[in-house]
Structure 1
Amino acid sequence: MNKKELVYVVSDSVGETADMMVKAVASQFNGKEVNIQHISYVEDVKDIKDVIDMAKNSNSIIAYTIVISHLKQYLDQKSREVGVLAVDLMNPLMEVFIQKFKKIPTGEPKLMRKLDDEYFRRVEAIEFAVKHDDGQDSGGIKLADIVLVGVSRTSKTPLSIYLAHKGFKVANVPLVPEISPPDDLFEIPKNRCVGLIITPDKLNEIRRERLKNLGLTIQANYANLERILEELDYAEKIMKQIGCPIINVSNKAIEETADLILAMLKKRGTFYHE
């Protein structure tokens, strides 16, 4: 293999898969690099014809990952007719999938790119949730897809992280009688905010357990029932001012509450990830 030899890497998407496979194979031939010419995002027969002509004139190989059926068929047929070696890098594994799982491939290009975009969207959402947890950096309220408000121990943080894993940017804000809520809470569309409430007895139970885990006395004001009633009353007043929907999380799992939030926001017309 010499440096003048070419491989045309052809794809109806980016062509990263074909590129990596060609390089992996080329590395087995004395470690010499093959000269790769990328032809990405092919969309019609003319693109294929041009590649075949170039490969024929340069005595080159075509390595391709094309899932659009009529383009693949055209490339296979025309390359055989003119004597150009064309290798379908996906077909062997695709055929095994068809036989094993008894399903037909979608034939839709760029799906890997969509998966990558989905992954990075989730990572970004998780970073956002961490940065804007528990009222930190209140400037994120206007940037959030969902804003959760409620008193301490109403599952705001775990809900934020759970929703972030679904790709939503979530900020959560604690409501405390001694601290005025951020002005932005009253300025964002009310259908992007959700209030979380809980029964006094359940909250008392959760807070007492929390204090025990921290090695603190359960007599602290944090778990005092009178204080809890004061906080819940204050929180509900703020939620009513905002005009946001309210969910009672007393006996709900995180997943159940999250499903309710998404269903509620979808019904109200808030942007929603399928």
Structure 2
Amino acid sequence: MTDMKKKCLKVYVISDSAGETGESVVRAAAAQFHPVQLEITRFPFVESKTAVDRVVQLAKDTDAVIAFTLVIPELKNYLLRRAYEYGMSCIDVLGPAVDMFEQRLDQESKHVPGIIHRLDEQYFKKIEAVEFAVKYDDCRDPKGILKADIVLVGVSRTSKTPLSMYLANKTFKVANVPLVPEISPPEELFMAKRHKIIGLKISSKKLNAIRKERLRSLGLGQDAAYAQVDRIERELVYAKELMERLGCIVIDVSDKAVEETASIIQEWHYRNH
């Protein structure tokens, strides 16, 4: 049986915009083939046949497959023709969805690159939410707790900051509060509405592994108290007791990806508003 861990798929994402959509779809599809390694290279703002030729030739030379989100028909058709001539694998990420909408709406697509990124109201909400998450990360200013749509609480390394940023990109204003036994939680935490507070818990075994890896990446010894089991257990007990006092929903993030946890939080938020 072939060792899947040794396989590496090169994917070139060609776009006449930033290429974020194409990359996201490719990563989502590749997740179904874990642990196959994925090497994605984005080629954004491709607007000419010359540029298409360069990428196709490079893909052929490096044995890469092509995924694209070109919405300009002339470029899209040219890419498909060139890929066919070379006998290369090439997938249109947006085409089937656009075709379906055209049929159902009886209306032709605008064929304008980058519409999704235009500076509309939603865009500014996202920017505002990201700035909010940065300002009130790690409880730098407790006043953010009362201004936030969502308040995340948990011990160190429970993905509070990544979750804050992910949710900010969904336009939620998120503040997060680290729970440390030696530091009293801010009084604002007890003033916030219960349904806005989300407790994040994690198994001691998982947290121990994460913290050891964190110390290793910083070039520090793994015998620091930060990663010791007894210290971790004490923090988790403290966090559990505080979350019970707050009466908040608690999510176990031990084996969850940030996206999965964020989905649960969003569902909870919408149910309670």
Alignment TM-score, normalising by the size of structure 1: 0.58
Change in 2 beyond 3 A, CA 1:99/1:160 = closer
Matched, 1:177 2:181: yes
RMSD value, Cα: 2.3
Change in 2 beyond 3 A, CA 1:225/1:100 = closer
Change in 2 beyond 3 A, CA 1:211/1:263 = same
Change in 2 beyond 3 A, CA 1:253/1:115 = same
Change in 2 beyond 3 A, CA 1:180/1:99 = closer
Matched, 1:253 2:257: yes
Match in the other structure for 2:102: 101
Tell me how far apart the structure 2 counterparts of residues 231 and 253 of structure 1 sit (CA, whole Å). 22
Q: Secondary structure at the match of 2:200?
A: strand
Q: How many residues align?
A: 168
Change in 2 beyond 3 A, CA 1:226/1:100 = closer
Change in 2 beyond 3 A, CA 1:247/1:100 = closer
Tell me how far apart the structure 1 counterparts of residues 230 and 262 of structure 2 sit (CA, whole Å). 29
Match of 2:216 among 195, 206, 212: 212
Change in 2 beyond 3 A, CA 1:101/1:203 = same
| Deviation (angstroms), 1:264 | 1.7
Tell me how far apart the structure 2 counterparts of residues 145 and 130 of structure 1 sit (CA, whole Å). 14
Does the aligned pair in 2 maintain the 1:195–1:244 contact within 8 Å?
yes
One-letter code aligned to 1:218: Q
Match in the other structure for 1:225: 229
Match of 1:123 among 109, 124, 127: 127
Residues 63-74 of structure 1: matches in 2 within 5 Å?
Answer: none
Query: Any gaps of 5 or more consecutive residues in structure 2?
Result: 1-97, 108-114
Does the aligned pair in 2 maintain the 1:98–1:104 contact within 8 Å?
no
| Deviation (angstroms), 1:262 | 1.1
Q: Secondary structure at the match of 1:138?
A: coil
Change in 2 beyond 3 A, CA 1:150/1:100 = closer
Deviations 1:180-231 (A, max 9, x none): 0011111111000000000000000000000000000100000000000000
Tell me how far apart the structure 2 counterparts of residues 225 and 100 of structure 1 sit (CA, whole Å). 55
| Deviation (angstroms), 1:135 | 1.1
Tell me how far apart the structure 1 counterparts of residues 165 and 239 of structure 2 sit (CA, whole Å). 22
| Deviation (angstroms), 1:100 | 9.0
One-letter code aligned to 2:252: N
Residues 83-94 of structure 1: matches in 2 within 5 Å?
Answer: none
| Deviation (angstroms), 1:124 | 0.1
Does the aligned pair in 2 maintain the 1:154–1:249 contact within 8 Å?
yes
Residues 1-274 of structure 1: matches in 2 within 5 Å?
Answer: 101-102=102-103, 103-104=105-106, 116-267=120-271, 269-270=272-273
| Deviation (angstroms), 1:263 | 1.1
Tell me how far apart the structure 1 counterparts of residues 170 and 233 of structure 2 sit (CA, whole Å). 33
Q: Secondary structure at the match of 2:192?
A: coil
Tell me how far apart the structure 2 counterparts of residues 252 and 163 of structure 1 sit (CA, whole Å). 15
| Deviation (angstroms), 1:115 | 6.9
| Deviation (angstroms), 1:266 | 2.0
Tell me how far apart the structure 2 counterparts of residues 253 and 181 of structure 1 sit (CA, whole Å). 27
Tell me how far apart the structure 1 counterparts of residues 229 and 99 of structure 2 sit (CA, whole Å). 62
One-letter code aligned to 2:218: L
Change in 2 beyond 3 A, CA 1:99/1:169 = closer
Change in 2 beyond 3 A, CA 1:99/1:196 = closer
One-letter code aligned to 1:101: E
Tell me how far apart the structure 1 counterparts of residues 99 and 151 of structure 2 sit (CA, whole Å). 44
| Deviation (angstroms), 1:237 | 0.8
Change in 2 beyond 3 A, CA 1:157/1:264 = same
